[in-house]
Amino acid sequence: MAKSVETLFVSIIGGPATHGFISTEVLKALGPKGILVNISRGSTIDEKALLDALEKKRIFGAGLDVFENEPNINPRFLQLGNVFMQPHQGSGTRETRQAMGDLQFHNILHYLRSGKALTLVPEMQ
């Protein structure tokens, strides 16, 4: 498919089956006029291959709002003029933001009552 398009949108599920799905071979097929847009998970892109392709102009550019090691984005991305980066907005709906706020409220309430949060970030476990 990458040979047939100029803009390749990646919208696939994350996980072991799709880790590095967008590989050096896919980026070569996309070619020097190609643009990669990832709206799925950072793990679906082989970031080393993508960075090499962007730095060596093997593809024209990329639009990214997810990265493999979020929030620790590879600093090589910050040196590039052919990549557009923005914070992930996949959860940017009114309903999702309300649910996030509700969960935060219930975590605080539960913590104040029991000394334990309902959900913990991995660093706190």
Q: Active-site residue numbers?
A: 41, 70, 88
Does residue 27 contact residue 54 with C-beta atoms inside 8 Å? Answer: no
Q: Three-state SS for 71?
A: coil
Q: What is the dihedral of CA 60, 56, 27, 2, to 10 degrees?
A: 30
Dihedral (CA of 72, 64, 48, 14) sign: positive
Rounded CA gap, 62 and 85, in Å?
8
- Strand 35-38 relative to strand 7-10: parallel, antiparallel, unpaired? parallel
